[in-house]
Structure 1
């Protein structure tokens, strides 16, 4: 993989893919470097880009997931955002850098070793530490939780969030984290409304 900062590139590509694809880390990365199984793990051939000159989306074939009890797999679409925070541009840069290794697990380190969940988690926690942010708040589901929360905050319908995250039920609602500041603001909103009628009696 030829890149000025190959490990940063793969780290960024995994993070943006996990977030915009509502992925669990186990759907993208291996539990250990020796655990690669092409029948179940994300491989080079599972990624399809509609156009390298003017890409609008990337299609990721998910061979197996936690909710896929019958092993049917799923096709996840990642759209081009047109901004610096874009999974399509990240994947394009990564695949360009990996031209000499177009096979096997999709996410590889510059040494050719598959990226594991442990390696990725350790890198993210190091970044959080450098930023002075709590490392314990990060776990394997953080990108999936963050995606659901962000989607809800920008007004994407619950039904669409359920589709994007491939949830089979409304269980996805437990992933949506409302900031404490927003919860606190609800009291002001409620106090501005007309008080309910209590039959002439007032609460003490």
Structure 2
């Protein structure tokens, strides 16, 4: 679904470039959609929402590039606590690092402007509004016969993908900023990983695999 979305979006268009960056970051960073968007244009606050200055690009100990988003506020954070979202390069053209780089080129903005922002026909910077973003996404998905999605789908979808690929649940928990393993109760995530843990187990005394 993520690949299908990107294939339809026009990444040279300011709104679509912004939307793609938000969706890619929400999925791979297991972020709540409210962390990449705002309720209304007027509700953006630099104290609560991501700004362009909240992005750090660096290389890890192996020299692999990554990005860190410093969330000024989060649902599970204490007042004044900054939470970090770590984004890594991904294959198949779906990398959030590439999406952020494209956004910076298509929609240049100041350090205090919203991270996920676009410019309207008058050149004014505008934050990504949740309802408008999901309307665009669902318009594409419905046209492709993929049904509707919801803001939380990106966060759970990312966790489901990592778990299905064999990433340690504890790593997923830490990266997704869950305070417990409660996220594992999501059926979709369990369905995709259950066979890795429960299928083809050896019978007692047989040694069969």
TM-score under structure 1 normalisation? 0.80
| Residue correspondence of structure 1 range 40-59 to structure 2 within 5 A | 40-50=48-58, 56-59=65-68
CA RMSD of aligned residues (A): 2.9
Instruction: Choose from 21, 26, 31 the match for 2:29.
Output: 21
- With 24-33 and 98-107 compared, the bigger mean Cα shift is at 98-107
Any residues of structure 2 matched to 1:21-170 within 5 Å, and which? 21-50=29-58, 56-99=65-108, 101-111=110-120, 112-135=125-148, 138-170=149-181
Question: What secondary structure is seen at the aligned counterpart in 2 of 1:151?
Answer: helix
**1:69/1:187 Cα in 2 relative to 1: closer, same or farther (>3 Å)?**
closer
Report SS of the residue matched to 1:29.
coil
Provide the rounded CA distance (Å) in 2 between the counterparts of 1:183 and 1:140.
25
Q: Is the 8 A contact 1:152 1:176 kept in 2?
A: no
Residue 85 of structure 2: SS of its match in structure 1?
strand
Runs of 4+ with >4 A deviation: 178-184, 186-190, 193-196
Alpha-carbon offset, residue 106 of structure 1 = 1.3
Contact 2:28 2:87 in 1 (8 A): yes
Q: Give, in angstroms, the shift of residue 178 of structure 1.
A: 4.7
1:182 to 1:103, Cα distance in 2 relative to 1, 3 A: closer
CA shift for structure 1 position 75: 1.7
Structure showing greater radius of gyration is 1
Structure 1 unaligned blocks of 5 or more: 197-204
Contact 1:148 1:176 in 2 (8 A): no
- What 5-or-longer segments of structure 2 have no aligned partner? 1-10
Aligned residues: 188
